[in-house]
DNA sequence: TTAGGAAACACTAACCGTTAGTGCTACGGT
DNA sequence: ACCGTAGCACTAACGGTTAGTGTTTCCTAA
């Protein structure tokens, strides 16, 4: 458990980065399907097995940096201001994520993803994992006493919002419409006879 | 465009059915991953290429009969009683679909699906396609004047409901909770100043 | 009835993602 | 300085999938 920032780890990280950069460059140059793992390995000057030592699959090469997506969603819930209602906090984070994907630099990548079925499937799997993590974070919040099903449902709705907004022509407008619906869905989970604490503190 | 029920089509259908039956049997006997396409082809006494002439992928062998899922969802919208509100109609259909999956006969199959990542990914892809089809059906209904985003959103929510209910310990109770949320989300799409025709006719 | 043509199917051989097995090398902890 | 191990290479293979090619079968139109 030593925190050594040794040459070893630096080299490993460098190799990983080199592979990821090479892969992304080749994918964008020639198209995802037209580039084989063997091409990537050769161009990055590593063995095929080394590629798979760093990345679980070919698709993972594309989503290299989006590993923190899951943590960001969960932290938007666990790390929000005390008393701040859930949905606005979620929305703020998702808005940031959508903007991040819509950045000019990331656009060709997302175009490639939208054109490649294998990458879309992979992204859906990621989203499902993210939804599960988000549901766990929501369920763990003592301020939000909801059933497991309700937590899982609102988590799904939230990642749906991300996905739908990213595909929309006008992401900001889409987020408005979608979160009006998400907010209503969440409000409907409050049992009659319970305090509406989560809602009451609202109004920013 | 002849509707001939010729020998040819019967033979084709028979071959297809034989392949699907053989595959499902082998999968359940030995496990999905332990059975190769070559095994299925040999056992069904056809060539490997013939298998792929009938099914687009190995996973498609498992979901052979669920092709009509998409049509059922869309028809639940387009074919509902005039004046019947959208959400109850959707719920009725989804409830039926969930029950269909929970039938004793289908249980081992779903156990296999839940245990196999490749099958789960495939099913997610299917669900996304179904959501798109459902969104199109909702958008095409003149009684429901909603934006494209709202239609796509509620369609996603509906297939989420199916997915979540199927995984829940008590599907019926889960459907209650989830559809309370879906109903609220849909109600939130009504613009202030518009008639609430869709809601007003409700009550049964 | 028959000729034409297309669809279904078979077979071979390969491509591609992925993994197992094996071993070498270089670095870090002691 | 030494040893353990992590990183990496290499070969070979497995399993899903497809291309190319040829053959049989059977619908259809003359």
Each residue's pLDDT, cut to its tens digit, for chain B (204 residues) gives 434 466 767 878 888 999 999 999 999 999 999 999 999 999 999 999 999 999 999 999 999 877 788 899 999 999 999 989 999 999 999 999 999 988 988 899 999 999 999 999 999 999 999 999 999 999 999 998 999 999 999 999 999 999 999 999 999 999 999 999 999 999 999 877 665 554 444 433
Q: Which CATH class is domain A7-57?
A: mainly alpha
Query: What are the domain boundaries of chain A?
Result: 7-57, 66-200
SS3 B2: coil
CB contact under 8 Å between B182 and A184, yes or no, is no
The nucleotide whose C1' lies nearest the CA of B4 is D27
Percent of chain B with pLDDT over 90: 76
B7-56: CATH topology is: Arc Repressor Mutant, subunit A (1.10.10)
Q: Decide if A57 touches B, using CB distance below 8 A.
A: no
Do the Cβ atoms of B69 and B97 come closer than 8 Å?
Answer: yes
pLDDT tens track for A148-180? 999 999 999 999 999 999 999 999 999 999 999
| CA distances from residue A63 to A38, A147, B138, B203 in whole angstroms, order as listed | 19, 32, 33, 48
Q: Quick one: tokens of B164?
A: 């979540």
Q: Which residues of chain A lie closer than 8 angstroms to B121, CB-CB?
A: 121-122, 124-125
Q: Decide if A114 touches B, using CB distance below 8 A.
A: no
The nucleotide whose C1' lies nearest the CA of B54 is C8
Q: Which residues of chain B lie closer than 8 angstroms to A168, CB-CB?
A: 149
């Amino acid at each position: 458990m030593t925190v050594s920032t040794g040459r070893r780890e630096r080299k490993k990280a460098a190799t990983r980065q080199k592979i990821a950069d090479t892969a992304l460059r080749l994918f964008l140059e020639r198209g995802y399907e037209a580039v084989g793992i063997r091409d990537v390995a050769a161009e990055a000057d590593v063995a095929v097995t080394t590629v798979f030592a760093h990345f679980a699959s070919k698709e993972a090469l594309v989503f290299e940096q989006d590993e923190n997506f899951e943590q960001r969603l969960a932290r938007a819930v666990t790390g929000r201001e005390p008393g701040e209602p859930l949905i606005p906090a979620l929305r703020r984070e998702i808005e940031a994520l959508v903007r991040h994907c819509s950045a000019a630099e990331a656009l060709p990548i997302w175009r490639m993803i939208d054109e490649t079925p294998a990458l879309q499937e992979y992204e859906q799997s990621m989203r499902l994992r993210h939804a599960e993590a988000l549901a766990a974070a929501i369920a763990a919040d003592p301020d939000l006493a909801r059933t497991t099903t309700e937590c899982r449902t609102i988590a799904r709705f939230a990642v749906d919002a991300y996905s739908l907004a990213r595909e929309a022509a006008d992401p900001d407008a889409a987020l408005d419409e979608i979160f009006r619906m998400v907010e209503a869905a969440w409000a409907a989970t409050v049992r009659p006879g319970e305090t509406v604490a989560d809602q009451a503190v609202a109004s920013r």
